[in-house]
Structure 1
Amino acid sequence: DAVCLFRDMVRMLPQPSVFQFTKLLTVLVKMKQYAVALSLFDKMRQLGAPVDEFAMSIAINCYCLLNRVDFGFAILGTFFKRGCEPDVTTFTTLIKGLFLVGEIAEAEKLFKKLLSEKLCEPDEIMYLIVLNGLSKAGHILAARDLLGHFENLSCKPDVRAYNAMIDGLCKHNMSDDALHLLSRMIEKGICHRDTVYIKIIRINYTI
């Protein structure tokens, strides 16, 4: 199994490359064996096996998926100690992890810090994660402001971003606002009229 393979790898001379170790971690994550992946990651560090930014990002993702975003931030500290720069994927993982454990204010705070201090350039996925998290948590005004900001960027929001906003509006009894947003989606050519009509029926059904 993966653990036995790992033990064989650390005994090899010369030792396998960092790519081989991270490939093993990636396989475990795909199998949703997050705790096992983290156990091997810890052993890698203890035994002096090569650990790079990608391996640390995998560990952060595993901690967040296990609702231990606090440990994820501890790994982030290792990034900075090594003089490495976490990429947008790593920060997106941490923001999503904060939303998963209900730390809405902290997630929003981190996102704003990334923007103000230019720690990374947010991409469409990060904006979608933040927009979805804010909408589900009922922070409608903040989500709406973010969507407006998103619309003015070179990376425009796609149908998933608008759907997240619409779901949030409907969930918090703001159906008129949801219908208005659907009209804007038609104007922008983001979705077909037939799709919009189905959404309108669903919205009216929930009123």
Structure 2
Amino acid sequence: MYGNIANDPQKAIETLRKMPEFCSSSSVKTFNYILNLLVNNRQFQVINELYLSAPRLGINVDTCSFNILIKGLCKIGQFEAALNLFDEMPKQSCSPKTTTFSTLILYLCMNNRVQEAVEMYERMCSDGFTLPDTILFNMLISGLCTNRRVDEAMGL
């Protein structure tokens, strides 16, 4: 699909932007596909520009869009921006899902920001989400133990 065959994300973006000229509307699914392609190709400089152009393209971003953006920001260590985007979701009529919380928790743990990961886990539980999987628990437990918070880890 768009640019993946040619491994050319720029061409995919161009195609997305030109679709209205041909009376063809872009779908959020296509938009998300291209966002994900950009994240996987580590083209972070283009991602924000594309995200900001969504309304002009007639695209209403969805939870999947936010998950992709949050994952991309976490990959480059931009946790404040990822957390701000997380807080932006309700303003865009999008609700975080278990995947959204899990992504933030995993990357926060991987970057030794365990307290923030624990707070995100607590928020996830208090918001009524299903409990995370074993990988997430292992990351939380490992992060807590590394930070000498063994009793807290045992409580999970």
- Normalised by the length of structure 1, the TM-score is 0.60
Aligned mate of 1:136, from 143, 146, 151: 146
| Uncovered stretches (5+) of structure 2, i.e. residues with no partner | 1-7
CA distance in 1, matches of 2:93, 2:60: 16
Tell me by how many angstroms 1:63 deviates. 0.8
Within a 5 Å distance, the mapping from 1:64-103 to structure 2 comes to 64-103=74-113
2:117 aligned residue: 107
Residue 27 (structure 2) aligns with:
17
User: Quick check: 2:89–2:96 contact (8 Å CA) kept in 1?
Assistant: yes
Q: CA deviation at 1:24?
A: 1.5
After TM superposition, list the pairs within 5 Å mapping 1:10-49 onto structure 2: 10-12=17-19, 13-45=23-55, 47-49=57-59
1:86 aligned counterpart, secondary structure: coil
Q: Which residue of 1 aligns with 2:4?
A: none
Unmatched 5+ stretches in structure 1: 147-207
SS in 2 for 1:14: coil
Query: AA paired with 1:31?
Result: N
Q: Secondary structure at the residue paired with 2:54?
A: helix
State the alpha-carbon separation in 2 of the partners of residues 102 and 112 from structure 1: 17
Taking structure 1 as reference, are residues 35 and 139 closer, same or farther at Cα in structure 2, changes over 3 Å only? farther
Give the drift of 1:19.
0.9
| In 2: Cα distance, 1:45 partner to 1:142 partner | 44
**AA at the equivalent of 1:8:** T
Number of the residue aligned with 1:126: 136
**Which entry has the higher C-alpha Rg, 1 or 2?**
1
| AA aligned opposite 1:2 | P
1:120 positional shift: 1.4
Q: Is this contact kept in 1: 2:38–2:44, CA < 8 A?
A: yes
Partners in 1 of 2:11 and 2:97 — Cα distance?
32
CA distance in 1, matches of 2:54, 2:150: 43
CA distance in 2, matches of 1:136, 1:35: 34
8 A contact 2:114–2:140 mirrored in 1: no
Report Cα offsets for 1:56-90 as digits up to 9, x if no partner: 11001111111111111221122112333211110
Structure number with the higher helix fraction is 1
User: Given the alignment of the two structures, is residue 3 of structure 1 paired with residue 4 of structure 2, yes or no?
Assistant: no
* CA distance 1:16–1:113, shift in 2 (3 Å): closer
Point out the more displaced range, 52-61 or 30-39: 30-39
Find the counterpart in structure 2 of residue 198 from structure 1.
none
SS at match of 1:122: coil
Report the 3-state secondary structure (helix = DSSP H, G, I; strand = E; otherwise coil) of the residue aligned with 1:16: coil
* Mapped partners of 1:46, 1:72: distance in 2: 23
Segment drifting more, 69-78 vs 127-136: 127-136
Cα separation, 1, equivalents of 2:58 and 2:36: 19
Identity of aligned residues (%): 24
